[in-house]
Amino acid sequence: MAPRSPSAAVLVLHGGYENGTEPPPPGLLNLPGTRMRPFVRALRRATRAPESGPESGAGVLVRQVRYAHRGWNGSRADALHDALAALDALGEEAGGSGEAGGVPVVLLGHSMGARAALLAAGHPLVRGVVGLAPWCPPGDPVTQLAGRDVVLVHSSRDRITSPQATQSLTTRARRAGARTCMVTVRGGDHAMIRRAPAWHRLTTTLVTGLLGTGSLPEPVTAALGLPPTAEPTEGTLDLDRLRPRRGPAGLQPSP
């Protein structure tokens, strides 16, 4: 029997540092990578993703970017180049050419990884981006996000990256033609350790919703449908006010 191609894919991009040309440490010593492991496990459970490749059967592939360097490193933008190379490789693994019409991909990034995901979203395979505590410098472009679904999640207490900058990018991207939404996690933190179960549930719900294998919370769907002229506050939601949904991919009440 010929192997069945996956229906979609998720590419996970962990965080890093503003500067650092050395390679990330291996295994659990790579704390930004370790931080994303619960998210990867939750997504694989929710999507029944094959672990070893498309030969395992149809489903949703969940893959992780491997960075060559720990840092972004200014104009080198090392993490962005790694993300684009990973997208090309994912297209080949999924049986496509990496061109438009191949397997649809949702990018899931944290911090530096979210910045890389946002900038790599112009790749033809990308259909959406979920960014966690994203790093959103004010000069970063947004035109590559046109036609994409973009949901950014940020703690109101984050002291490493700016939730205000995230809201600004969400608004700028909407005006550039993206469908955008921001969700605020009250009482969270940059490392996503505080209220960790809520971060995991929300992220799984958002990713599966953008993939079409689950349902997005109604307020998120409404925010994604806002016109380009909407005010920043209209597209900003509070996690604790999202309506819970039933089902394995649904958003459950937060602790």
- What pLDDT digit, counting tens, does each position of 4-36 carry? 678 899 999 999 999 999 999 998 899 999 999
Q: Is residue 52 situated within a structural domain?
A: yes
Q: Structurally, how many domains does the chain consist of?
A: 1
Render 128-197 in DSSP notation, one character per residue.
Answer: EEEEES----TT---GGGTT-EEEEEEETT-SSS-HHHHHHHHHHHHHTT-EEEEEEETT--TTS-TTHH
Q: Is residue 253 situated within a structural domain?
A: no
| Cα 173 to chain centroid, rounded | 15
Range of the domain at 178: 8-241
Q: Is residue 254 situated within a structural domain?
A: no
Q: Is residue 59 situated within a structural domain?
A: yes
Q: Is residue 198 situated within a structural domain?
A: yes
pLDDT band at 242 (very low <50, low <70, confident <90, very high): confident
Q: For position 211, which CATH number holds?
A: 3.40.50.1820
Q: Is residue 35 situated within a structural domain?
A: yes
Nearest CA to 198 out of 210, 218, 184, 208 is that of 184
Mean pLDDT score, 176-181: 98
pTM: 0.90
Q: Is residue 58 situated within a structural domain?
A: yes
Q: Is residue 247 situated within a structural domain?
A: no
